[in-house]
Structure 1
Amino acid sequence: MTDAPAGKGTGVRRRGRPPRTESADTRDRILVTAREEFSEHGFEKTSVRAIAKAAGVDSALVHHYFGTKEQIFEAAIAVAFAPVVDAPGAIADGPLEGVGERLTRFVFGIWENPTTRTPLLAIVRSAVNNETAAAVFRRLIAAQLLSRLAQQVDHPDGELRADLAAAQLVGCAMLRYVIKVEPLASADVEQIVARIAPVVQGHLTGP
């Protein structure tokens, strides 16, 4: 009796490219794992090998799907900034009256959403110590939203005003979600918006 050909009747899959559905599932699993690893350890202390091990795949497969660690990082956190691509039209193009509240609600809405919070934690923790992560932050946040806001503000120092508004929001978010300073960490988000929005508005349109 002859042996069955490889892949027929033996449960052994032929070598070659995996089925498309399996490829998509594997890619998604790597992305989810990468977000978790970057969020917990930051960019510097996260390796491709660690991501691969946690995802249950080979390091070469991670490189195959995403390339370098920098590219993996950007892909892993991009989901958090997908809303930012569409946000400028709703936030910056509206009337300047009330823009502080619109922007504040938008930012804290992303932080309050568990799906987008993890990649945000990853990039904030990483950007503090790594220039690559900081560059991703500037590209995905500053270029997409702040520059649009600066153009709408009718002041010669519009860019500075937009940066100060961002600093107010990012600083508050870091204290609440990253450092978890109390009572800010457990305060109701509506209370935070009510306190922060007028300050952001003042940065953008105040004297």
Structure 2
Amino acid sequence: MVKPPAGDTSAKRARGRRPGVGTTRDAILDAARRQFAERGYDKTTVRGVAAEAGVDPKAVTHWFPAKQDLFVAAVELPVRPADALRHVLAAGTLETMGERLVAELLGRLEDPVIRDRMLAFFRAAVSEPAIAATFREIILRDGLLPVAELLGGDEARLRAELLASQMMGLITARYVIAVEPLASLPAADVARLVGPTLQRYLTMPIGGEQA
């Protein structure tokens, strides 16, 4: 019998007890989150995720038939814009919400787990058309439509889209591309500088609206 090389952790995992049915999916998702965040969409493989989770690749495809399905399940949008908006609205008035909304978003992105999951989504959406389409669906479902409902008014959908464009641009410039000095600017300064732009999107007259 051929013995595995010393220190071969994959062999040890293969001989070890597999996670139970209730934990297999969670183990796969945990491994996928780490690998998508560290390696990106293109370099993450089903085999690699399976090896880290200690399961057969067939177990991964049982739960997630395609890598795209695995990605969407593992890296779901970690910050829901409507939740952030509700929190900000509860803490003050609409007239001061722009700066507070930027501060709320940046505050959440200070959590490295949330930031890594958000950045994994952004990077994959840029490189993978199928993920970009899924990203648009998630942004629409979990972001634009709930935010528009909270804002109300005839131009609520357009206002929500303008907010999203500004916030996604900020995330891309500050965290994905890491443009300096924006990337290193204190969050409070970013909120002070960008907040007025969001405030205009929230309250300025749009189209046929009257002031």
Q: Give the TM-score normalised by structure 2.
A: 0.74
1:144 and 1:88 map into 2 onto residues whose CA distance is: 12
RMSD, matched Cα: 3.1
Residues 62, 186 of structure 1: alpha-carbon distance in 2 compared, 3 angstrom cutoff:
same
Q: Deviations over 1:147-198 (max 9, x none)?
A: 2332344654332222121111111111111111111111111111111111
| 1:186–1:198 Cα change, 3 Å | same
Alignment of 1:77-156 (within 5 A): 77-78=75-76, 80-81=78-79, 83-84=80-81, 86-87=83-84, 89-91=86-88, 95-153=93-151, 156=154
- The residue number in structure 1 matching 2:173 is 175
Query: Are 1:92 and 1:148, in contact at CA under 8 Å, matched by a contact in 2?
Result: no
Q: Contact (CA 8 Å) 2:31, 2:49: kept in 1 or not? A: yes
User: Which position in structure 2 is the counterpart of 1:196?
Assistant: 194
Residue type of the alignment partner of 2:87:
A
What are the Cα deviations for residues 51-88 of structure 1, in whole angstroms up to 9, with x where unaligned? 2234343211222344432221112112714x557445
Match of residue 69 from structure 1: 67
Alignment gaps of 5+ in structure 2: 1-16, 206-211
Matched, 1:158 2:163: no
The one-letter amino acid of 1:90's match is H
Q: TM-score, normalised on structure 1?
A: 0.75
AA at the equivalent of 2:140: A
Query: How many residues in Structure 1 have an aligned counterpart in Structure 2?
Result: 190
Partners of 2:138 and 2:112 in 1: CA distance:
19
- Alignment partners' CA distance in 2, 1:149 and 1:105: 17
* Matched residue, 1:31: 29
Q: Secondary structure at the match of 2:180?
A: coil
CA distance in 2 between partners of 1:31 and 1:85 (Å)? 25
116-125 or 48-57, larger mean C-alpha shift: 48-57
Seen in structure 2, the aligned counterparts of structure 1 residues 194 and 64 have a Cα distance that, compared at 3 Å, is same
Separation in 2, partners of 1:65, 1:79: 20
